[in-house]
Amino acid sequence: MPAPQTHYFEVKMELGGFPADYTDVKMPVWAPGSYLVREFAKNVEGLQARTAAGQPLAVEKINKNTWRVRHPKQASFQLSYRVYAFELTVRTSFVDADHGYLNGSSVFMYPAENKGLGSTVVVQPAAGWTQVSTALRPGPEKFTYKSANYDELADSPMEIGNQKVLEFTANGTPHQVAMYGTYTVDETKLVADLKKVCEEAHRVVGQNPLDHYLFIVHNLERGGGGLEHLYSTTLQVTRTAYGTEAGYKSFLGLAAHEYFHLWNVKRIRPVALGPFNYDQENYTNMLWVSEGMTEYYSKLINERAGVLTRDEYLGKLGNAITEVENTPGNRIQSAADASFDAWIKFYRPNENSSNAQISYYSKGDLIGTVLDLNIAEATKGEKHLDDVFRLLYDTYYKKAGRGFTDQEFQDAVATVAGRRYDEFFRSSVYGTKPLDYATALGYAGLALSSAPLSPDGTLGATLSTRTGRLLVAGVVRDGAAWTGGLNVNDEILQINGVAPGEGNLAPVAGASSGTLELKSAPAGTEVTLQVRRDGLTRDLKLKMLANPDRKFKVQPLPSPSAAQQRVLARWLGPTK
């Protein structure tokens, strides 16, 4: 990265032992863990090939991400190319005057028929940069690293610059935290809390596959999200988040999610997710397990570690049920379909997504809750979902060396529980039958209650101001706006004959800043809207409908039975 301010990584690739007349070299089209074809080859420039002696070789691009290098009688040759890297997310690569962040799948190519070959990687940091943080094994020289195969190379991101590195040991394994950017936090407390989270995560499966681990943390003006890797993760955090209790606990929740992935998906995985096909989508019905149950465990791990109180955990559970049950798409798309269609839907949302889709994260989180409680009840508090993941780890990762099928996951649940849940999977995982939260929570001595989110009527439309105009941002399935013909992108000119303003608009609770809706009014209230659509003005008459949304709450029963207390203790651990 000789000129980091221009946002280019410069790559030289030396290949040896290729006796054929030509070799095809590829760039992945996606990053494992982020299920969207991103076409990383679009950022490649100036690819050239030369013999070991420096003579030019012919190169032909044969498809969008494959280059054919002709090297007759030359078993060793070199490629050089540049990669434009100016997208700072956890799944892409970035370099500027301050630091470099590199995801292997968006920078490193591989010989098409030889992904299994090992590599030596030499990093040349920009002038003044002194740190390289990566989970790759160090080589004999400074800034030299080894990978056993391309999958490991692609799965080991690098943070390059002057980041601060914190260290701790969890379960006998050294951990590093590479902190990029400006932040204010009690580092001693942060390290101690991360250690507790990591050690609690280890207790779920009960086996440690690590001899080292790296957290790369980007502290940004606005951050959020993470991406898991075999021996590391990258987290993006709003730099001020540590300053509030909620923000700090949110960071620990994100860390727990990505850390638990080192078991769930990196080692305990659906059969489709590895070995990877980097050329195209890798379809699976099971992202509700890989992502949804990881989200479930992120909160569970933090509760067991004492980061969340029991009441905070139950509050988050109630909020999760509220989110899913108030999403119209929950009644349209199953968790399995949401997983399979992640490539074309989840990462490409539009104004109708909430009406037609459900997140495999949020739905899988709740499926995990219900399954966990059912297993604990079926075994009288002796077993729970942890035991399913232990069985999957031993059977498929350690012994079979492969992923599991959909049926094998169901079989593992049945083995642990001592009973089958085929109808549950058919109707509530591969179908859209509502989850029976109340019964499952009752096994642990918990009650589920709900109340209307609002006693008033609603138009079923959200509004936002863009370029000085008040536009319709979303319309809720089967609401007044939906049935009355109000469209997304309609400009609201008048409401009941008056210009829109504070008198007739209110912020949407819990939504992003600037999201508005009509002020509450009783169901049945008639509303006249003047809108501009496609440059033409028209009037619409709508009648507010009762708000169907409900707020759910989970609370302990006053006098749980001994059996319920056993299930609760198996599920959430001893009361802290």
pLDDT tens digits, one per residue of 136-168: 999 999 999 999 999 999 999 999 999 999 999
H runs (alpha helix) in 332-479? 335-340, 353-356, 360-378, 385-392, 406-417, 422-424, 437-442
Contact 41, 65 (CB under 8 A): yes
Q: In the β-sheet with 131-134, what is the strand arrangement from edge to edge?
A: 94-95, 100-102, 158-161, 131-134
Strands (E), 27-84: 44-51, 56-63, 66-70, 77-84
Q: What is the pLDDT of residues 29-69, one digit of tens each?
A: 999 999 999 999 999 999 999 999 999 999 999 999 999 99
How many of the other CB atoms lie within 10 Å of CB of 472? Answer: 22
Which 3 state secondary structure label does DSSP give 528? Answer: strand
Give the model's pLDDT for residue 512: 74
Q: Which token pair is 282? A: 């890798």
Give the model's pLDDT for residue 576: 61
DSSP conformation letters of 442-505: HTTTEEEEEEES-SSEE--EEEEEETTEEEEEEE-TTSHHHHHT--TTPEEEEETTB-SSTTTE
Report how far apart, in Å, the C-alpha atoms of 535 and of each of 125, 473, 490, 495 are: 54, 17, 10, 18
d(CA 501, CA 20): 72
How many of the other CB atoms lie within 10 Å of CB of 6? Answer: 13
d(CA 34, CA 276): 13
Phi-psi region of 384 (alpha: psi -120 to 50; beta: other; left: phi over 0): beta
* Domains by residue range for the chain, with CATH: 4-162 (2.60.40.3650), 263-448+555-576 (1.10.390.10), 457-548 (2.30.42.10)
Give the model's pLDDT for residue 503: 86
Give the model's pLDDT for residue 511: 73
Nearest alpha-carbon partner for 52 in 73, 37, 26, 28: 73
Pairing of strands 232-238, 213-220: parallel
Chain position carrying tokens 């899988």? 364
Q: At what angle do helices 294-304 and 360-378 cross, to 10 degrees?
A: 60
Which residues, in sequence order, are CB contacts of 42 under 8 Å at separation 6+? none
Is pTM beyond 0.85? Reply is: yes
185: phi then psi, degrees, rounded to nearest 5: -160, 150
> ω into residue 275 within 30 of 0, thus cis?
yes
515: phi then psi, degrees, rounded to nearest 5: -90, 125
Residues across the chain: 576
Give the model's pLDDT for residue 468: 87
> Mean pLDDT for each consecutive 10-residue tract of the chain (576 residues)?
98 96 98 97 98 96 98 96 98 98 98 96 98 97 97 98 98 97 97 98 97 98 94 97 97 98 98 96 98 98 96 98 98 98 97 97 98 98 97 98 98 98 98 98 98 92 91 96 96 94 85 82 94 96 95 97 95 80
